[in-house]
Amino acid sequence: MAETDAMSVTDAVFARKTIRAFLDTPVSDEDLTNLLEKSARAPSGGNVQPWRIYVVGSDTMPIFLDYMSERDLEEPEYDVYPPKLWDPYRTNRFQLGEEMYELLEIARDDRSGRLARLAENYRFFGAPASIFCFVEKGMGPPQWSDLGMFLQTFMLLAQEAGFDTCPQEAWASYHGAVKEFVGAPEEEMLFCGVAIGHQDPAAPVNSLVSTRMPLAEWATFVEK
């Protein structure tokens, strides 16, 4: 594994960003095992460890993509966003889309261009490997939050190990197909996929650095 020993947590936090174009350089199962084992050090309320992970590694990926090419979109099992997202969240989401499509040179009214781009999600943006994150249907928001901590731990460790990632809720629109392929039991529910590999440095979309709201808009120092 291409360990970058000097990477601090802060370095990893700033180095991690969502990559939407990957090289086809494979990721070994050994590297994925190592990352997953370390990621399980993520905290979870009561240490319940509710994450359920299915790996589609570099050997299985071509078979998975072939299988997916025959499948149709499905109604997601959960709302990826609340219906009628409100501000400031709505504007944040809109801004990200605009910035991304500008880099991709896809015009706002180019519906088919945008749809084709969306479909790239379902090829993991060319990534050679991925994980799918599931959680049991009986689990509630606290355990979904635990899964989120696992996810970020995984992505930061991947960064440290020299890999790039893309978390993908887009897979919610193929939850049945994914579940069938990976063999997850009925009681488990797909949250997201995470593409993992090496970014294509020549792809303009990878130059996107998403913005963040100023701290004063989301943090309050309580004074009495």
Ligand X SMILES: Cc1cc2nc3c(=O)[nH]c(=O)nc-3n(C[C@H](O)[C@H](O)[C@H](O)COP(=O)(O)O)c2cc1C
- What is the binding site for ligand X (CB under 6 A)? 17-18, 20, 96, 121, 166-170, 192, 210
Minimum Å distance from CB 12 to ligand X? 12
Minimum Å distance from CB 147 to ligand X? 9
Minimum Å distance from CB 166 to ligand X? 6
Minimum Å distance from CB 136 to ligand X? 18
> Among residues 212 and 224, whose Cβ is nearest to ligand X?
212
> Among residues 5 and 207, whose Cβ is nearest to ligand X?
207
> Among residues 171 and 181, whose Cβ is nearest to ligand X?
171
> Among residues 121 and 130, whose Cβ is nearest to ligand X?
121
Q: Mark 148-159 as b/e (b = at least 16 C-beta within 10 Å).
A: bebbebbbbbbb
What is the widest separation between alpha-carbon atoms in the chain? Answer: 60
> Among residues 166 and 178, whose Cβ is nearest to ligand X?
166
Please tell me whether residue 55 adopts helix, strand or coil conformation.
Answer: strand
Residue found by looking up tokens 């399980």 in the block:
40
Minimum Å distance from CB 30 to ligand X? 26
CA torsion angle for 139, 144, 150, 155 (degrees, to 10)?
140
User: Would you say how long the chain is, in residues?
Assistant: 224
Is the CB of residue 130 less than 8 Å from the CB of residue 196? yes
What is the phi-psi region of residue 49: left when phi exceeds 0, alpha when psi lies from -120 to 50, beta otherwise? left
Is the CB of residue 187 less than 8 Å from the CB of residue 136? yes
